[in-house]
Amino acid sequence: MDVGGTSVRAGVVDERGSLLDTARVATPSGEVALEDAVAGVVEDLRNRHEVGAVGLAVAGFVGTDRRSVMFAPHLAWRGAPVADRIAKRVGLPVTLEHDANAATVGEHRFGAARGAGVAVLIALGTGIGAGLLLDGALFRGAHGVAPELGHLCVVPGGRPCPCGKYGCWERYCSGTALAATAVELLARHPGSSTVLARETSGDPGSITGRRVAGAARDGDPVAQRAMTELARWLGEGLALVADIYDPEVVVIAGGVSESAPLFLDEAREHYAGAITGARHRPLARIRTAQLGDDTAIVGAATLAREDLGTVDRRAG
C-alpha cells in the first residue's frame, strides 16, 4: 500500500513484482478514519485474493523499529504505532516503510536499479523524496529518516522552504519548483503573449508543474525555459549526491519523471560537468523508474514478503 496525502493506493503483488489487482480510496483527515480506510482496502483485496502480509509505504518519518510513524506532514499520524494497529485490525503481518525507501526497493528488485550495489532514487513530485541503497541494502540513518536529499541547500539564501530553510534542492527541482520558476519568468516579462501567459493571465496560482510541462511539450518558450532551469538544478543536485555516495545508478521517479524527455538529457550534461573530477571518473547511469506510479506499492509488498520469509525461517 502507498499511503499518501491524497489517496491510499493498494495492489496485490506476486513474487515477480507483478500487480494482480488494485484498489484506491481518498485519504481521510483523521487518525482513526485513516486506519479505517487502510484496513478497508486490505479487506477489499483479501476478498478477491489470498494475501500473506501487508506492506505500508508512508510519506513520513518511520521509526527505526519500522513499526511507528513519527511524523507525516500530510497524514494524521504522530508518534503512532501504525504497524501494530493495522496488524491487529486485519490479522496479518504488517511491514512499515518510508515511501521513497519502498520505491527504491521496488526499482532495485524489479526495475531500473536491478542488481546495483549502490543506488539512489530521487522522487520528483510536490517536493523531493529520496532513497539510498548501500551494498544492496537500504540505508535509513541512525534515526530512520535518511536520506532527506530534497533539503540539501543548493542556493544559499534562495527560495524559502516549508522545512524552515532557504534554497533547498526541492525548491528548484520538483513539480512545485517548476511552477514557481514559470511564475517568476512570467513576472519578468509582463504582457508576454505565450500560451502559458494567456491561459493563466491574472491567476498565477493556476500554474502547476503539470501545466508547465504540457505547455513545454507544445513549444511554449516560457515553459521550456522553466524546464531548462529544472534540468540545470537536477544536474547540480545529482552532482552533489554523486560526490557523497558515488552511486552506480540514479533512478528518477515521481510525477515529474513522466516529463523526463523534456529535461533528463540536459540534466545529465549538467551532472557530468558539475561532478568533482569531471571527465576523470565513471558516471552513474541516470534512468527513469520502470515501475511508474506503482513502484512504492511493489517495494512495500516486496519488503513485507521478505519480512514474512524471515519470520517463517525463524519459526522453522
**180 with 161: CB under 8 angstroms?**
no
Q: Among 155, 176, 161, which residue's Cα sits nearest to residue 232?
A: 155
Place of cell 522552504: 161
What is residue 195's predicted lDDT score, i.e. its pLDDT? 79
What is residue 74's predicted lDDT score, i.e. its pLDDT? 85
What is residue 194's predicted lDDT score, i.e. its pLDDT? 81
Place of cell 549526491: 241
What is residue 5's predicted lDDT score, i.e. its pLDDT? 85
Q: Judging by DSSP bridges, how do beta strands 78-80 and 69-71 pair with one another?
A: antiparallel
Question: Residue length, the chain?
Answer: 316
What is residue 312's predicted lDDT score, i.e. its pLDDT? 56
Q: Among 182, 181, 164, 163, which residue's Cα sits nearest to residue 172?
A: 181
Q: Which three cell numbers stand for residue 24?
A: 484506491
**How many Å apart are CA 290 and CA 280, to the nearest integer?**
30
**132 with 139: CB under 8 angstroms?**
yes
**How many Å apart are CA 270 and CA 238, to the nearest integer?**
9
What is residue 215's predicted lDDT score, i.e. its pLDDT? 93
Q: Judging by DSSP bridges, how do beta strands 2-3 and 7-13 pair with one another?
A: antiparallel
Cβ within 8 Å of residue 65, ≥6 positions away: none
- Map 173-220 to HEC letters: CCHHHHHHHHHHHHHHCCCCCCHHHHHCCCCHHHCCHHHHHHHHHCCC
Instruction: Tell me the pLDDT of the chain (316 aa) as tens digits.
Output: 999 888 999 999 999 999 999 999 999 989 999 999 999 999 999 999 999 999 999 988 999 889 999 998 889 999 999 999 999 999 999 999 999 999 999 999 999 999 999 999 999 998 999 999 999 999 999 988 899 999 999 999 999 998 899 999 999 999 999 999 999 998 887 767 687 888 777 677 889 999 999 999 999 999 999 999 999 999 999 999 999 999 999 999 999 999 999 999 999 999 999 999 998 999 999 999 999 989 999 999 999 999 987 655 455 5
Q: At what angle do helices 264-274 and 221-245 cross, to 10 degrees?
A: 40
